Amino acid sequence: MGPLIPEILSDQWNNIIAIITGMAFGFVLESSGFSSSRKLVGVFYGYDFAVLRVFFTAAVTASIGLLFMDYFGWIDMAALDGLPARVWPIIVGGLIMGLGFVTGGFCPGTCITAIGIGKLDGYMFFGGIILGVFVFSEMFPLFENFYNSSNLGDVTVPEYFNINPYWFTVGVSIIAIVAFYAVMLIQKRIKSVEY
Amino acid sequence: MKKRYIFLAIVPIVLSLVLAFLPDKSNSIDAKRNQKILKSAKYTGVTPNNLLLESVNSNRFIQPDELAKVIIGQDPSYLLVDLRDAVQYEKFTLPGAINIPYEEILTKENQAVFDSEAYNVVLFSNGTIVPDQVWMILRRAGIKNLKVLNGGVNQFYQLYLNPPKPLETDSEEAFENYSYRKAVGAHLGLPNPDEFIPKGRENVQSSTIATGLKPVVKPAVKAAPKVVVPKKAEGGDEGC
């Protein structure tokens, strides 16, 4: 990586930085109101789009920030790695995750936030996660082939379609702004819900 | 619409446009795509600087006499890897060696063989050049406990088939070395150099080596590939 890591921040700091960023992340989640499942599922019923705004903003901010830091040579983007892009398993997994989200009212991170402020449904949801992880692990051999299928490797969208990552980021920013505007219009039409 | 929202909406678009028009991105992600493809085999190995230091250092070599001790003692902590092709391997190899032709060193199963904490892996071929290259590739791939047989299998057998006879004026140590090497030769089933008949050399060498040697340590070392196939931890990065 660049001078920021490992020269200024050496590898020994990894766990400490992880704890600090984790706490900051949890704090921001809680203060955005993400410990309330009514607010979270609002995105599915159209009365509250905070989830979409927060996560889309996070993605845009992070990508612009990383590209700038990369440009100044502070970090080396090529050394970052993501999960391998397994197309169909990710689509199916996303559907299952969405189903869990809309029925349970949390996503894995926000249920921890809910536990943090002592919500009982957060505890229930977390128990469900542990149960799901257990069932998944035990049944893993059954769908191992599917799990590893259609693997494109560790690619990003600009790499796969061979487009300029900078213009791709411009596009994503514009899409984000358009999406924010669109959901604002939707929200105006839908009867507001007290929660 | 509030003015604040308009301002906040303009910020990312302006910033990303600035990015797109920045001059000279030679050290940035676009230019590094190719490097990343090269690195896509998860890079965990030594840094280039350290590799350079290691490559001028002769610590990576295991000398034939050391290896002979390992073979005779049937030391189970050593795994001998023959990097020549299967034909040459079938003809003769070191006792207990397994065959991984050097074209196949980067396959998954073979990586697992190399990447075992339990063994010192000794790489050898006819000479030293191929194992040295393999050593360099594997070190870059982050594999430790690698040794290269100095001089290769040719020099190994040469040393025990025909050990250099010490002069009468040489030290006692040289004589001890000579008799040690003769003893190793006898253990490996090579003809005694004192009764050596140069005429029949080719036949003697190939026949004794091909028949007499292979099974010596084999059972102990053969188990190696089964031992460790470290499963890569995946997942765990949640979206939110």
Do the Cβ atoms of A23 and A113 come closer than 8 Å? no
Residues of B in contact with A82 (CB under 8 A): 237
A187–B contact, CB cutoff 8 A: no
A136–B contact, CB cutoff 8 A: no
Q: How far is B68 from chain A (nearest CA, A)?
A: 41
pLDDT confidence band for A158 (50 / 70 / 90) = confident
In chain A, which among 47-106 make CB contacts under 8 A with chain B? 55, 60-61, 64, 67-68, 70-71, 73, 76-79, 81-84, 97
CB contacts < 8 A (A, B)? 85
Domain positions in chain A: 1-82+163-195, 83-153
Tokens 């060498």 correspond to what residue? B205
Taking CB atoms and an 8 Å limit, are B39 and A110 in contact across chains? no
Q: Is pLDDT of A145 > 60?
A: yes
- C-alpha B88/C-alpha B102 separation (Å) is 13
Sign of the Cα torsion A155, A158, A162, A165 reads: negative
* Contacts of B66 by beta carbon, 8 Å cutoff, 6+ apart: none
A99-111 residue pLDDT tens: 998 898 888 889 9
ipTM confidence score: 0.73
Residue of A nearest to B35 (CA): A78
Do the Cβ atoms of B223 and B102 come closer than 8 Å? no
Q: Which helix (H) or strand (E) holds B147?
A: strand B146-149
Taking CB atoms and an 8 Å limit, are B28 and A153 in contact across chains? no
pTM (whole model) above 0.90: no
Backbone angles phi, psi at A107, to 5 degrees: -110, 165
Q: Distances in Å between the alpha carbon of A157 and those of A153, A162, B197? A: 12, 8, 70
In this structure, the number of other CB atoms found within 10 A of the CB of residue B30 comes to 17
DSSP symbols for A46-111: TS--HHHHHHHHHHHHHHHHHHHHHHTTSS-GGG------BHHHHHHHHHHHHHHHHHHS--HHHH
A180–B contact, CB cutoff 8 A: yes
Domains and CATH numbers, chain B: 48-153+214-225 (3.40.250.10), 157-211 (no CATH)
Residues of A in contact with B235 (CB under 8 A): 83
Give the per-residue pLDDT at A23. 92
Tokens 């190793």 correspond to what residue? B184
Q: Distances in Å between the alpha carbon of A2 and those of A71, A73, A119, A142? A: 11, 6, 42, 42
Q: Is pLDDT of A136 > 90?
A: yes
A113–B contact, CB cutoff 8 A: no
**Residue B198 one-letter amino acid:** P
Give the per-residue pLDDT at B75. 85
Do the Cβ atoms of B160 and B151 come closer than 8 Å? no
Rounded average pLDDT over A147-156: 83
Give the per-residue pLDDT at B229. 47
Q: How far is B232 from chain A (nearest CA, A)?
A: 12
pLDDT per residue of chain B (240 residues) written in tens, 0 to 9: 678 888 888 998 899 998 888 876 655 555 665 555 555 545 556 777 788 888 888 888 888 888 888 888 888 888 899 999 888 888 888 888 889 888 888 888 888 888 877 888 899 998 888 898 888 888 887 788 888 998 888 888 888 888 888 888 888 888 888 888 888 888 887 777 666 555 555 554 444 444 444 444 444 444 444 444 444 444 445 455
B13-34 residue pLDDT tens: 899 998 888 876 655 555 665 5
